[in-house]
């Protein structure tokens, strides 16, 4: 029955990680090109961190059905 349980928040953490990596890559490529790092690039990185944190919080909680079985 443990194999049937899907951990919550995994997709949200993955999406947050991808957003953070894309923001970081965009920021680093602009710095390499000689352009300054604008606030929107840092905002994308922070947005990804927030989405990742939401997924981590969701993954830490157990559903009420699983808590009732334990």
8-state DSSP, 46: H
pTM to 2 decimal places: 0.72
The full set of domain ranges for the chain reads 2-69
pLDDT for the residue numbered 4: 46
Q: What is the pLDDT of residues 10-29, one digit of tens each?
A: 999 999 999 999 999 998 89
Residues 6+ apart with CB under 8 A from 45: 20, 23, 24, 27
* Neighbour tally for 16: CB within 10 Å: 21
CA dihedral 44→49→51→55, nearest 10 degrees, is: 160
């Amino acid at each position: 029955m443990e194999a049937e349980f899907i951990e919550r928040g995994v997709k949200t953490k993955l999406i947050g990680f991808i957003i953070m990596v894309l923001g970081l890559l965009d920021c680093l490529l602009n710095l390499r090109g000689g352009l300054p790092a604008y606030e929107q690039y840092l905002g994308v990185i922070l947005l990804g961190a927030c989405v990742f944190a939401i997924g981590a919080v969701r993954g830490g909680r157990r559903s009420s059905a699983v808590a009732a079985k334990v």
